[in-house]
């Protein structure tokens, strides 16, 4: 397996380190918000390195909704390109780890339904959408 390369974003790297070192019993909420996060393990689209990204925990039945908001920034987060290149991921939700496959949501009805779930789980997504002109990517991770 390729080498794990921590995020250059300090808070994200620290969150992953705490989450994993505790076996999923600590670091399971976003900073001081109290809102739950998952860790998505994926492969870098250029380097092939293992990457780990903390994302908001948005459940849809047995799957997870992954939102490429990057706080409403003008460009997609790098992990969006990684998932488009290699849809095989692992998701750690507290102490459980799942092998999953992602697909980018294209249909308007499904996207609207999943977006509503995401906003319910993390209300700032609504503001992020208004801060950017790009269409924020939405992925659905489902059991492999």
Q: Judge whether 4 lies within some domain.
A: no
- Report residues of the chain scoring pLDDT below 50: none
Q: Judge whether 5 lies within some domain.
A: no
**Which pLDDT belongs to residue 96?**
97
Q: How far apart are CA 5 and CA 43, in angstroms?
A: 10
The CA distances from residue 98 to 11, 61, 83, 94, 139, in Å, are 24, 14, 16, 11, 16
**Which pLDDT belongs to residue 78?**
95
Helix pair 108-121, 124-131: axis angle to 10 deg: 120
pTM, to two decimals: 0.96
Q: What is the pLDDT of residues 34-65, one digit of tens each?
A: 999 999 999 999 999 999 999 999 999 999 99
CATH of the domain at 113: 2.30.110.10
Q: Judge whether 28 lies within some domain.
A: yes
Q: Judge whether 86 lies within some domain.
A: yes
Q: Which two tokens stand for residue 54?
A: 């903390």
CB atoms within 10 A of CB 80: 20
Total of domains in the chain = 1
**Which pLDDT belongs to residue 31?**
83
């Amino acid at each position: 397996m390729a080498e794990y390369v921590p995020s250059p974003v300090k808070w994200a790297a620290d969150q992953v380190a705490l989450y994993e070192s505790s076996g999923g019993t600590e670091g399971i909420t976003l900073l001081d918000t109290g809102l739950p996060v998952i860790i998505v393990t994926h492969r870098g689209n250029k380097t092939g390195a293992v990457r780990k990204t903390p994302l908001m925990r948005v459940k849809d039945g047995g799957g997870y909704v992954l939102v490429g908001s990057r706080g409403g920034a003008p460009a997609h987060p790098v992990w969006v390109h990684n998932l488009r290149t290699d849809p095989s991921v692992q998701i750690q939700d507290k102490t459980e780890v799942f092998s999953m496959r992602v697909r980018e949501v294209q249909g308007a009805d499904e996207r609207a339904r999943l977006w509503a779930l995401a906003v319910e789980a993390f209300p700032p997504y609504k503001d992020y959408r208004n801060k950017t002109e790009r269409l924020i990517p939405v992925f659905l991770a489902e059991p492999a």
